[in-house]
Structure 1
Amino acid sequence: MAKQAPSTQLIHHPYRAPEGWDAVPVPVAKASTVLFKDTADLHKPRPRDGLSYRYGLHGTPTSYTLAARLATLEHAEHCLLVPSGLAAVTLPSLAILRPGDEVLVPDNVYGQNRYLTESWLPQWGVTHRFYDPLKVPDLRANTKLVWLEAAGSITLEFPDLLGTLAACRARGVVTALDNTWGAGLAFNGFEPAPKTHPGLGADIVMQALTKYPSGGADVLMGSVCTRDRKLHDRLNHAHEHLGYGLGQNDVELVLRGLPTMPLRYAAQDRVTRELASWMAGRAEVAQVFHPALPGSPGHENWLAVGGAAAACLFSAVFKPEFSPAQVDAFVDALQLFGIGYSWAGPMSLAVPYDMSRSRNLPLPFNGGTLVRFAIGLEDGNDLKADITQALSALR
């Protein structure tokens, strides 16, 4: 072959990494175009099995590695990756629901799932009902999907997972569990403990990988896991046509965070329980929501699925004598808590919420302003001291 120009040589350089190269970090394989060996290879049917490649949008060895590890974490057989936790919420509803179907959603559901259910799905002829997460919902003939969130958004009620999943299984209704809080560590979404209740698991388990699997407050990603191949294929069909692609550098960051996730989860769990119990005894506080705290709504349901681990969140309702402006001043006075959404990162966060417009059913508290705390990796005594000095702003 004649000598090639530098522009050609830079693209068609002969060097390739040697076979057998291995290291602790997973190599980052980036691609839009995936090359085939020849036209026969091009025309060969390629199963969606996580082992063959057709186009970078559908995955590379890097993203397939993450999907396989998450499937193991969740005790699943199949895992799809999507570019955000919201995408992981959206995918099951779009893949499963059809005109005339009904979806049931817990009243304490993540706000963006509520918006999807109320504002988007009705345009396609899908009806919905919001149910009390502490009770087994009433299923109808056209109920095709039931969402569960453990624990619930903001107020952290822990649902009756065993009762609701058993009822749905008996009626053949597909269930989707938002397991972001449990992160695959607090309980098994597919086989909830105790073992005397086999087969009561969810059909779909999703996570916002933005939270615990990443742990760095720097990645947006989600996962959707299943055990049933037919259900996975249905989800995968929608996944491909929605164009849910990932940046492989983001995948790399989540892979890097996975090995330390159990350590971070346990550390944040421990400090969160300490602070939640301490806040429950403060004179300024009317109620504290944390599934591991006796008296918190759904505490018995949390115990029923193992009661071993809890995440980094608790919410405190300040007594009605303190106005929303005073509670805002308290949050502003915090020095170690950032003001921002998300959680499970290294920095602690605090956000006041106006709950009056976010629920259809009565709230689990009467009056007062709620602040959700997300505990990071700071020292627990330092966080307690910071909350103590900020409480003076209430006065």
Structure 2
Amino acid sequence: MKKDTKLVNAGRQAKWTKGVVNPPVFRASTVVFDSVAQMKEASVKRQQQELFYGRRGTPTTFAFADAMNEIEGGVGCYVYPCGTAAITSAILAFVKAGDHLLMVDSAYEPTRDFCTQTLSQFGVEVTFYDPMIGRDIKNLIQDNTKVVFVESPGSITMEVQDVPGICEVAHAQNPDITVILDNTWASPLHFQPFDYGVDVSVQAATKYVSGHSDIMLGTATANEKSWPVLREKSYLLGQCASPDDITLAMRGIRTLGVRLKQHEKNSLKIAKWLATRAEVETVLHPTLPSCPGHEYFKRDFVGGNGLFSFVLKKSNNQALTAFLDGMSHFKMGFSWGGFESLVLAYSGLNKARAESAFGYTTPVIRLHIGLEDIDDLIDDLERGFARLNSNL
């Protein structure tokens, strides 16, 4: 099936829908059995999408996991209460005390904090690496390296990594290394992780999969090698998600393709407009040559979305505050991937890096371009630049 057809049909097997269009919302904690034999049979099949206990999942969970597998190309999918839970559980599934993890230096802030504040307490050694390192990552792999974590594009600074190169080198050095990718930016549609050597792909389904800024959800899909470990360790960590949230995410899947097309169209127009502005030093949009790793984006991705950043040429606290305050359509807020436009400003990004300099010292503005009319969004930004300039 072509991807748009797959989005409509994914997870809608008759065993889940029971003859209706959408899989029903199936809530359960305790699953009851009529005989010892029935309970024993369920116990044997508890890892095979069979009802056993609510935390193992219900048909609502199983239908959504099947849909994510079909779209992203995995063998198995585990569902978590948020994207950070998916990231931390995926990492914990494959490391133990004494192991070594390679973490990309441009990672999502909570991922970075988990490494420095939690993994260190568990005796796991973490080395941060330059997101543009590519195949040279082989020089950082140690005998005890168990996980290589990639995030492409990177949070805020948007570097696109050479994911297939990193995977090939890591697995050549040690076939037991697990490569985990935060694939949230691309969504399940625009980068197919398992075609490029990734072992586990994480999604903050809170974002584009849901698309409406009203739920928290995470997923991790895995290849055949990694799925049994990911599944059982995630279960032992107590991870599970609400069937009501899962149902909303399943609804989001149906419109994911058309939403992403509009997000991408709007964001590219605004990115090109920003590139003409005198106030802008550079635009960090993966589809543009000005973004680090653009060549990998052209090679590996099949589309973009609404999230990108740009660097201001000059600013001060008063001017930056004036730019942000008074926006009509761009609201300040964390997360992204909903239908609405968002704006956030970041300063001092070089201080957050361990091994790789960002290259700019002036503030970075991250935009999420929503589904509003493009002219209204440009007018909003233009008025913001006027406020910025009048306060410099």
Q: TM-score of the superposition, structure 1-length normalised?
A: 0.90
Identity %: 34
Contact 1:46 1:52 in 2 (8 A): no
Contact 1:50 1:64 in 2 (8 A): no
Structure 1 residue aligned with 2:267: 272
SS in 2 for 1:185: helix
Question: 1:361, CA displacement in angstroms?
Answer: 3.3
Find the partner of 1:98 among 96, 121, 140.
96
1:224 aligns with 2:220: yes
Aligned mates of 1:331, 1:384 — CA distance in 2? 14
Letter of the 1:25 partner, please give it.
N
Find the partner of 1:325 among 318, 322, 341.
318
Find the partner of 2:185 among 181, 184, 204.
181
Letter of the 2:96 partner, please give it.
R
1:255-298 alpha-carbon deviations (Å, 9 max, x no partner): 11111001101110111111111111100111110111112111
Any residues of structure 2 matched to 1:268-307 within 5 Å, and which? 268-306=263-301
Aligned mates of 1:56, 1:31 — CA distance in 2? 5
Question: 1:50, CA displacement in angstroms?
Answer: 4.0
Aligned mates of 1:20, 1:91 — CA distance in 2? 29
**Residue-pair matches, total:** 366
1:30-86 alpha-carbon deviations (Å, 9 max, x no partner): 001112232221123333444311111110000100000000111111100011000
Structure 2 residue aligned with 1:215: 211
SS in 2 for 1:334: coil
Question: 1:313, CA displacement in angstroms?
Answer: 0.8
Letter of the 1:64 partner, please give it.
F
1:344-370 alpha-carbon deviations (Å, 9 max, x no partner): 101100001122432123443322111
Structure 2 residue aligned with 1:114: 112
Structure 1 residue aligned with 2:334: 341
Find the partner of 2:57 among 59, 79, 86.
59
1:117-169 alpha-carbon deviations (Å, 9 max, x no partner): 11111111110111111113221211110001011001101011121111012
Aligned mates of 1:113, 1:48 — CA distance in 2? 31
Aligned mates of 2:155, 2:131 — CA distance in 1? 11
Contact 2:130 2:356 in 1 (8 A): no
Structure 1 residue aligned with 2:141: 139
Q: Measured at CA, do residues 286 and 298 of structure 1 come closer, stay the same or move farther in structure 2, by a change above 3 Å?
A: same
Q: TM-score of the superposition, structure 2-length normalised?
A: 0.90
Question: 1:205, CA displacement in angstroms?
Answer: 0.6
RMSD (Å) for aligned C-alpha atoms: 1.5
Contact 1:109 1:153 in 2 (8 A): yes
1:353 aligns with 2:350: no
Larger proportion of helix: 2
Aligned mates of 2:356, 2:381 — CA distance in 1? 29
Q: Measured at CA, do residues 140 and 20 of structure 1 come closer, stay the same or move farther in structure 2, by a change above 3 Å?
A: closer
Question: 1:325, CA displacement in angstroms?
Answer: 3.0
Structure 2 residue aligned with 1:43: 40
Aligned mates of 1:324, 1:68 — CA distance in 2? 48
Find the partner of 2:360 among 342, 366, 374.
366
- Which ranges of 4 or more aligned residues in structure 1 deviate by more than 6 Å? none
Aligned mates of 1:120, 1:99 — CA distance in 2? 12
Structure 2 residue aligned with 1:33: 30
SS in 2 for 1:155: coil
Structure 2 residue aligned with 1:13: none
Give the unaligned 5+ runs of structure 1: 1-18, 193-200
SS in 1 for 2:146: strand
Give the unaligned 5+ runs of structure 2: 1-15
